[in-house]
Structure 1
Amino acid sequence: MTCSLLVLDLDETLLHTYREPTSNVNDYWDADYVVYAKDRRSCLAGILRPGVTEFLVWASGIFEVVVWTAGHDDYAQMVCKLLDPEGTLINHMLSRRTCIRMRSAATGDIMYVKDLCALGRDLGRTFLVDNTPHAATLNLSNLIPIEAYLGGDSDTKLKELQRFLESNLVRLTDRKNDMRILLHRQLNLKRRLRERIDNWKSTQQAFPTS
């Protein structure tokens, strides 16, 4: 089978990480990992999304797998070892320094955009799974959106993602096929985003500024 590239977001896609003071250590009884800061005053605790290991095992047998986080290098390396301790499931781990830093004109917030062109792969066979659509601003046609994971053991989104990939993408092995056409037909993401923008504009018009 011809290899395609599957780019996976990290936080709220494969796991949920949160920072807490160490005084709340009793609250971490259900965490899958806890990493203490150097000053021992705070720590990062987190929960793996249900089915993440099984999903990575499946994906690694079909795709070239990249995990791309807007977090810093040390965080990315720590989580990579957690998700793939044997180094056999994830081909590449990318961090914030490989993102494009942008500021929202509307809110002033800093956004980190993942430019798939920088990976040097065929964009017709590259997919980005991310819970934040703005991360795919430059490559919306490659985006497979996923609902944010904030904890809980009843989440089934990774199983649903695997079924989607199996039924719609993996079976297409002809290099002449541009997978973005299929994503456009299945998800119609650009239309949905335009509808959100139009709805936002209509609410702004309903509230005069003067």
Structure 2
Amino acid sequence: MQAPSSVIYHQPIHLSNYEDTSIQQLQSQSSSPVSLYEQQNSYQAKQVKHVKKKTVTRKLKMYGDYDDYEQKKIDEEKEHTYKYKRNFSFNRFLKARFFDAFESFIHFMKFVYDYLFCCKLICFILRTDADTQKRRLLERKNLINKAQMSQALSSPSSSSTYSTSIISDNTISNLDKMENSMNNFLNENPLLSFNYDQQLNMSTNSTLSYLKMYEEHPNNLVLDLDETLIHCNEKSLNDDSSIITVQFQNQQKNYYLHQRGYLQEFLEQCALNFNIYIYTASTRDYAEEVVKIIDPRSVIKKVYDRSSCFYDGKQYLKSLKTLGLDLNRTVMIDNNQACVSNNIENAFKIKDFFSDKNDRELQKFQNILNKMCKFTGNFKDFIQSYQS
């Protein structure tokens, strides 16, 4: 029976011919048995792969499936490319979303940092006034303790006086010996005894007066700064001026400060009978720098700055009602007529000061305040009767 014309028979491929040829070639190339064996195996593997590929291609062409095979390969490559692009797009989408989320997190943390910084700044501003007041009270307390100590040491009493102060036993015994030696010296020199007692009484009286400056009084004295107690200028007008440095709008400026005549004596005398307050329309930094110079003994109890004033559209005005003081026992001295008019029942107007060395206005007001502190009634009545 004859085979159909569409079927083509091919002779089978025998590898023996290839094997003989490969062996002869390898023997001619190398004489080493090990290298010869390895080269023979690799060559045979290549020949088998080549034969299989030819066989598959021939069968596909024989049965008409070669085009489908090539199309299938193309479709597989396209699908592989599509999957790769899809995965790449998805990964890029994830990266974009991740970076967007990370950027949003960074903005949120920056907002939290700014919010906490603002809160801290507000707390610092609110705490500044309390810290300043606390520091001044602590300085005043230390000065009182030093004055009490000096009074105890200057008193010529027995050892029981020293035992009441905060001094160790060894210090007490040493002080007793010093006191005994001083008494013996005075007994031997009677002419010096009177001078010693007189100086001792003077020292005790000055110490008591010093302590009285830091006591709480029922009377309140509110003073202005500029053109009332001092005058500041960018140029020095006399040799007695002091230099203060104030920071204004992120810039430091130097000013020459001129104190009004009799200022130190005025503050120390008023502190014996009044609680002294500074009430100024200037900034807090400026006011504190000025107070450090004019009040070396810390007799001023508190400083009220511009934040305690109100603005009427033209200037900053003051109101004693915002200070929380007893207005029946409060007096104010200011050179600004608008501030005096706003507190007419409690205020005296003083002449403007512009570094005049012969100015004696504070001495005049010292006499008025000495009379006021002895007045037991309402200060408003005293001020009204004086102005009338």
- Coarse TM-score class (shorter-chain normalised): 0.7 to 0.9
Alignment of 1:61-210 (within 5 A): 61-87=272-298, 89-103=299-313, 110-167=314-371, 169-172=372-375, 174=376, 177-188=377-388
Tell me the secondary structure at the aligned position of residue 11 of structure 1. Answer: coil
| Larger Rg belongs to | 2
**Pairwise CA distance, 1:30:** 1.5
The answer to whether the 8 Å contact 1:7/1:129 transfers is yes
Q: What is the TM-score normalised by the length of structure 1?
A: 0.75
- Unaligned runs of 5+ residues in structure 2 are 1-215
Paired residue total: 170
Question: In structure 2, what is the Cα distance between the partners aligned to 1:2 and 1:65?
Answer: 10
**Pairwise CA distance, 1:36:** 4.3
Q: 1:14 aligns with which of 226, 229, 235?
A: 229
**Pairwise CA distance, 1:152:** 1.7
Amino acid at match of 1:60: A
The answer to whether the 8 Å contact 1:133/1:145 transfers is yes
Q: Deviations over 1:79-102 (max 9, x none)?
A: 111111232x10111111111111
The answer to whether the 8 Å contact 1:113/1:137 transfers is no
C-alpha RMSD of the superposition: 2.0
- Unaligned runs of 5+ residues in structure 1 are 21-26, 104-109, 189-210
Question: In structure 1, what is the Cα distance between the partners aligned to 2:368 and 2:246?
Answer: 39
**Pairwise CA distance, 1:37:** 5.7
Give the structure with the higher percent helix: 2
The answer to whether the 8 Å contact 2:217/2:275 transfers is no
Q: 1:35 aligns with which of 223, 231, 244?
A: 244
Give the structure with the higher percent strand: 1
Q: What is residue 107 of structure 1 aligned with on the other side? A: none
Question: In structure 2, what is the Cα distance between the partners aligned to 1:137 and 1:160?
Answer: 21
Question: In structure 2, what is the Cα distance between the partners aligned to 1:158 and 1:48?
Answer: 11
Percent identity over the alignment is 27
Tell me the secondary structure at the aligned position of residue 160 of structure 1. Answer: helix
Q: Deviations over 1:114-171 (max 9, x none)?
A: 111112122111111001121134321111111111112111000000011113x111
Tell me the secondary structure at the aligned position of residue 66 of structure 1. Answer: strand
RCO greater where, 1 or 2, for CA within 8 Å and sep 6 or more? 1
Cα 1:86/1:100, change in 2 over 3 Å: same
Q: What is the TM-score normalised by the length of structure 2?
A: 0.41
